[in-house]
């Protein structure tokens, strides 16, 4: 028969052994990142979102000392890729390259988007580029004021304008501008920036908002004319193009197009902070900045923190969600 004292001593020793093992067990948890990082791009290869991800991936791989894979999951106007992210473990190893409007507009315009902005945590912005208000080279419009006045004079449905797709940022921002022309311009949606640029050059539509990457070469070649940029202050990409705000358009139509990494909302803060620090450093490197400039983007040089990114997103959710609701846009 075991002596009670001995039993107590054995139990005490076992307890001490467990306590001694506990710190080791905690230390044994793998440090982040412990496996390859996946960046989901919710669009096909070759677009601006994809290019931003593929520009970042090799440098992020060097910094994190883990493989970084870019995976295209296009479909349902980007919704499929964002839902794929939410179905992945919230451990920091799966991210998505999102952009302006995805988290603020899509949940309003698609009843089955499958997500809201609250399902994600902003990690870091990679590239900023303003939308540019462009017209055909022979357009009589010299300023945004001319465009607004012509719309008012034409009456309801008198003149067409183009967007890069129904429900996207170029459409919603255009409608915010169209409201100043008493809503007299009629919307013509195209399937992306490239078809819209062609429609503008042939004069099918009177004006449109194009992303910098889509607009830049045509403006430089004199095939399109820039009347303004949608930004609170002039971008270094367009130092000679006045903002819409400068030209008397009410504030609100001044959203940069951003491309940035987001993660599922429950992702550990330490993982978010680590990736943020690495991305914020990478995007300020001269070589990265040059390559980004070449494709029509600007690096966020300061204030590239999750908190600052979240402020941008919250403003967007407020303004753009309301604009989408006011338009009654329903895309499914």
In the predicted model, what is the mean pLDDT of the chain?
89
Structural domains of the chain, with CATH? 37-129+257-327 (3.40.190.150), 130-229 (3.40.190.10)
**What pLDDT is recorded for position 112?**
93
Pairing status of strand 208-211 against strand 37-41? unpaired
- pLDDT band for position 24 (cuts 50, 70, 90): very low
**What pLDDT is recorded for position 110?**
93
Distance (Å) of CA 103 to CA 23, 77, 168, 258, 327 = 41, 12, 11, 12, 18
* C-alpha of 268 from chain center: 21
**What pLDDT is recorded for position 12?**
52
**What pLDDT is recorded for position 194?**
87
> Given the structure tokens 């070589």, which residue do they identify?
287
Q: Render pLDDT for 124-169 as a digit per residue (tens, 0 to 9).
A: 999 998 899 999 999 999 999 999 999 999 988 789 999 988 888 8
Bigger pLDDT: 2 or 268?
A: 268
Of the chain, the percentage scoring pLDDT greater than 90 comes to 67
Of the chain, the percentage scoring pLDDT greater than 70 comes to 91
**What pLDDT is recorded for position 2?**
54
Mean pLDDT of 45-59: 93
Q: In terms of C-beta density within 10 A (0-12 exposed, 13-18 middle, 19 or more buried), how is residue 206 classed?
A: buried
Does position 115 have pLDDT exceeding 60, yes or no?
yes
- pLDDT band for position 25 (cuts 50, 70, 90): very low
Q: Render pLDDT for 294-330 as a digit per residue (tens, 0 to 9).
A: 888 999 999 999 999 999 999 999 989 988 888 888 8
**What pLDDT is recorded for position 142?**
95
The total number of residues shown for the chain amounts to: 332
**What pLDDT is recorded for position 289?**
96
**What pLDDT is recorded for position 10?**
52
Closest CA to 252 of 179, 159, 168, 153: 179
Q: How many degrees, rounded to 5, is the angle at CA 202 between CA 197 and CA 208? A: 40
Mean pLDDT of 196-209: 96
* 9-23, 51-65, 200-214: range with lowest mean pLDDT: 9-23
**What pLDDT is recorded for position 26?**
46
Q: How far apart are CA 34 and CA 220, in angstroms?
A: 46
């Amino acid at each position: 028969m075991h002596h009670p004292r001995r039993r107590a001593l054995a139990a005490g020793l076992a307890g001490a052994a467990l306590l001694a093992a506990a710190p080791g067990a905690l230390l044994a948890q793998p440090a982040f990142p412990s496996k390859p990082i996946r960046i989901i791009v919710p669009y096909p290869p070759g677009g601006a979102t994809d290019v931003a991800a593929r520009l970042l991936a090799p440098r992020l791989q060097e910094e994190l000392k883990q493989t970084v894979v870019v995976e295209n999951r296009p479909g349902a106007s980007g919704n499929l890729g964002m839902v794929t992210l939410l179905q992945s473990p919230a451990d920091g190893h799966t991210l998505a390259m999102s952009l302006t409007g995805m988290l603020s507009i899509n949940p309003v315009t698609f009843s089955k988007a499958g997500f809201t902005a609250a399902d994600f945590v902003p990690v870091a912005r990679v590239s900023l580029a303003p939308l540019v208000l462009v017209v055909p080279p022979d357009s009589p419009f010299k300023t945004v004021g001319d465009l607004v006045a012509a719309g008012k004079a034409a009456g309801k449905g008198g003149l067409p304008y183009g967007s890069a797709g129904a429900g996207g940022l170029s459409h919603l921002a255009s409608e915010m501008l169209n409201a100043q022309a008493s809503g007299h311009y009629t919307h013509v949606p195209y399937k992306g920036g490239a078809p819209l640029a062609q429609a503008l050059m042939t004069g099918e539509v009177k004006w449109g908002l194009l992303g910098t990457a889509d607009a830049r070469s045509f403006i430089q070649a004199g095939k399109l004319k820039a009347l303004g940029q949608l930004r609170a202050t002039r971008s270094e990409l367009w130092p000679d193009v006045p903002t819409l705000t400068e030209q008397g358009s009410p504030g609100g139509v001044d959203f940069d197009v951003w491309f940035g990494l987001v993660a599922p909302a429950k992702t550990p803060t330490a993982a978010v902070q680590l990736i943020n620090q690495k991305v914020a450093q990478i995007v300020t490197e001269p070589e990265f900045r040059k390559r980004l400039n070449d494709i029509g983007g600007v690096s966020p040089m300061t204030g590239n923190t999750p908190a600052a990114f979240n402020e941008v997103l919250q403003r967007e959710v407020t303004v753009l969600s309301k604009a989408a609701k006011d338009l009654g846009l329903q895309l499914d």
